[in-house]
Structure 1
């Protein structure tokens, strides 16, 4: 039984949420509810939302979602943690449709889509999107579709991905750079550079500018195709254009160089990017040493670890153990 009145048209204040929610879910029978914090966090709201969701009290859940946005505690991937593979969303969708219109409502729907995709419930996620389209109080954006496209790409479900793209077109949702990058990564990871080139053409056609993830996908594609020289050209382009490099970009280049037996070039590559960021230095030197150790290139790995020690770079536990075991 709900402990809040059904027709609740305005958001509860912090004290009201404290009294109703904490008394119902967290207070002991002989203890008073602890005070609602003056400066609540998103994590705190997630705890309350989980408790309300598990109890099935969607009135409380609705009011928590309204109030958290007012307190600038935005929804997270944990907001809908109470959902499981067997939980129905039939009652939840009307609840979200009664949230404050605009950002509050859209943010909640987006978070629900994300959670459903994490549970591998893509059909339910698509159902939520269709309800969003019928809502009419906000404009759908490409970001809603990110988790759906991502999971379908991982599952290599080309037919279902096409359904999503068609739905976006039907709803008038323009594909942004992130959507293009998701498809680009899919093709590059499969070393399908012809399909990747088509995505690049579409990015240019849409007037978008390649970012770190665009280049990261292309570098991965070049490495997986065995074209290390092409990967190095892309890295040079990133440096010249001032595009920040992701850790994965460095990792794939180092790995590709070592697969070609280019130890000296891999060391030169690492040194080229060293000296600006201590954390990055430790990461890329550590990546090189770890890959050498896995290749059983003990002598070369120890050379890299010695340089890390000289530079005062931190080593992970496995590298420390390797260094101590193989040191003189």
Structure 2
């Protein structure tokens, strides 16, 4: 009933091409997103008796549309602010003041939509596998975890630091090594699934991996939200005027909580898949990557905050095993 009511309200608002206030358009898009999320959940729990192909299609479509609507909601707001594009307003005088909004799309928006749709479809297919009677359930968990990670990276960046938002915020094209690592994990899982199927039936190990993934994901997103506009996917070499040293929240326990979360998330995905080779490879590769990344980042942080960061460094560990960061004499 709630979803049907929201859908009706959304349809009524959408039929009116004249919007009284810019925020009304954004509120409408927010409702649009909530309705589609509701429909996705409704499809998940009420289409079990429908043909599996239709079941998969419905969930994938609604989940991808949910992702697109959320992004469209945020982009409309930023366009109005002049951060991603500009809007032209035709203000009519006499009687009630009305604003007719003409928002232009930036060249990257179609590419954002494609990536969001792809991640939404992947998440939807992962849900199908998860709730189906199959021995591939753990791979469904993995698909949901991977797609949610990349989508939430973009979404949280959009919320906390829209000025730095770009296609790279999805982290889908992080590096060649990252892509090779992902493909390697898929190959190992499939090969071992077909040749040594009992290796993939260790439910307790997969549950442990899922726990690591959830904790790692939660810690990373908590770090991003705590840092706010100070967070950036790229190590900054120049201090912005608004850049401050964040030492509260999860940063009171780890100097680099976002890296800690990502580290255990990446290993957790392989534990979830019961991939012995990739568990070892991911652990070594991730440890080396974050050791170098932390040393590079701390050079900038010491340059930005001098003694304040040095004192903070003495009090709080990095959070990663056997990584202490750059040495300060």
Structure ID, larger Rg: 1
- Answer whether TM exceeds 0.5 for this pair: no
Which is richer in helix?
2
> Under a length normalisation based on structure 2, what TM-score does the superposition of the two structures give?
0.24
Considering Cα pairs closer than 8 Å and 6+ residues apart, tell me whether 1 or 2 has the greater RCO: 2
TM-score (norm 1): 0.24
